């Protein structure tokens, strides 16, 4: 029964209300202002093509990075983004919340939408032309859009 929970006695109760979230924490996550607020974290290049961040590989360490401060340790956050590689399986998002908490998402194309409990008070977001174990070849790229991080209220 999608969205319906049975209460004791078998009577159906309405689903819980949808979660609400605070303000957007990522600066320029829709890339309306080009590559502003994103730094080149490697040897590749950054550009905005058709409203999406394009990370072009130089065959090694590459990526667009942004550090978010002011998070609350123990609070729940929602991270979402879309990504697509030019080369099979070479689009990766790395989230480094604390030295003991990192998340990696490598997909052929699509989206990431997760909630996590922060172990620290900041996060490093990296958008990379890579998969879980290898960088994309030189000239290959990955595109990202709608990068979002919000605190669950």
Looking up residue 41, the CATH number of its domain turns out to be 2.60.120.260
pLDDT tens readout for residues 74-90: 999 999 999 998 877 78
Residue 2 forms part of a structural domain = no
Predicted confidence (pLDDT) at residue 123 exceeds the cutoff of 90: yes
Instruction: Specify if 101 maps to a domain.
Output: yes
Quick check: 68 and 26 in contact, CB under 8 A? yes
d(CA 45, CA 129): 10
> What predicted TM-score, i.e. pTM, was given to this entire model?
0.85
Across 122-135, b (16+ Cβ under 10 Å) vs e yields: ebebbbbbbbeeeb
- CA–CA dist 78, 81 (Å, integer): 10
Whether residue 20 is contained in a domain is answered as no
Query: Which range of residues forms the domain containing residue 60?
Result: 27-151
Residue 14 lies in a domain: no
pLDDT of amino acid 58? 93
DSSP 30: T
The domain tally of the chain equals 1
Q: Is residue 105 part of a domain?
A: yes
């Amino acid at each position: 029964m999608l969205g319906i929970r049975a209460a004791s006695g078998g009577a159906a109760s309405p689903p819980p209300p949808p979660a609400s979230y605070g303000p957007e924490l990522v600066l320029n996550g829709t890339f309306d202002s080009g590559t502003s607020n994103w730094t080149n974290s490697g040897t590749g290049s950054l550009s905005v093509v058709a409203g999406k961040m394009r990370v072009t590989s130089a065959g090694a360490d590459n990526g667009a990075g942004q550090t978010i401060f002011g998070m609350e340790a123990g609070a729940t956050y929602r991270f979402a983004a879309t990504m697509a590689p030019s080369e099979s399986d070479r689009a990766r998002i790395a989230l480094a919340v604390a030295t003991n908490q990192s998340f990696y998402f490598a997909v052929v194309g699509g989206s990431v939408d997760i909630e996590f409990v922060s172990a620290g008070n900041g996060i490093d977001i990296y958008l990379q032309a890579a998969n879980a174990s290898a960088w994309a070849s030189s000239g290959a790229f990955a595109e990202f859009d709608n990068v979002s991080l919000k605190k669950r209220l």
